[in-house]
Amino acid sequence: MPLPGAPSLGSADPVEPVLDLLGVLAYGELSAFERLAADAALAPTLSDRAALDGLAVTEYSHFCRLRDRLTALGADPDAVMGTFADALEEFHDHTAPSDFLEGLVKAVVGDGIAADFYREVARTPAVDPATRQIVLDALAEGDRTAFATTRVRAAVDADPVLAGRLALWARRLVGEALTQAHRVAAEHPGLTTLLGGVGGTAEVSQMFVRIAEAHARRMTALGLES
């Protein structure tokens, strides 16, 4: 995939898995952008609609940085990203929100778990420092889901039945995310070799514990039981 003259990643670095990491992130951001912009139609007010559109625009700026990094590494972004299209579109097809609050919970929970996971992967030794920084920058950007969290929290505090429904919805989102993550890992074994660089099985387990804990904190902030 890398063209002649592409920047070296260092002899110890597996090029293919790093490209895969950038590719799945880039496609994820692009599809998140389009899905959030479509979900905005569910918003009850123009302000809410504009706020969800604003979350979408943030995803697009992340997409641009990740795609540009793929290009800088000599890869063809379309080719790398394309191998993740089916799994990521299937995730979205299985998790189309039926109302505005489901859309907000999806933005917070989905974005959060994906960001935690990719942050862990980016920190593995196999990822070159420049790519790591771009991935971490793309994922940092303050608390862009604060608006969504506040809106969900207010609605849930006023309606316990809603809290139950949205908690179930969040669990379904996590289940679908894991299903698609398994599919991505099976289709791209290189990505799992990146995690192998973390260390032993115990360290991988620790990573999943950290991601689960962060998810539980987000659910608490939303006023939902995880």
Contacts to a second copy by CB under 8 A:
27, 30, 33-34, 37-38, 40-41, 45-47, 49-50, 53-54, 56-57, 60-61, 63-64, 67, 77-78, 81-82, 85
Quote the least distance from Cβ 49 to a second copy, whole Å: 7
Quote the least distance from Cβ 37 to a second copy, whole Å: 4
Which CB sits closer to a second copy, 6 or 38? Answer: 38
Q: Work out the burial of residue 211: count CB atoms within 10 Å of its CB; fewer than 13 is exposed, 13-18 middle, 19 or more buried.
A: middle
Which CB sits closer to a second copy, 100 or 169? Answer: 100
Q: What are phi and psi of 95, to 5 degrees?
A: -130, 40
- How far from 109 is each of 175, 179, 184, CA to CA, in Å? 12, 15, 19
- How far from 66 is each of 92, 165, 177, CA to CA, in Å? 20, 35, 21
Which CB sits closer to a second copy, 41 or 146? Answer: 41
Quote the least distance from Cβ 156 to a second copy, whole Å: 24
Which CB sits closer to a second copy, 94 or 171? Answer: 94
Is the backbone of residue 87 left (phi > 0), alpha (psi -120 to 50) or beta? Answer: alpha
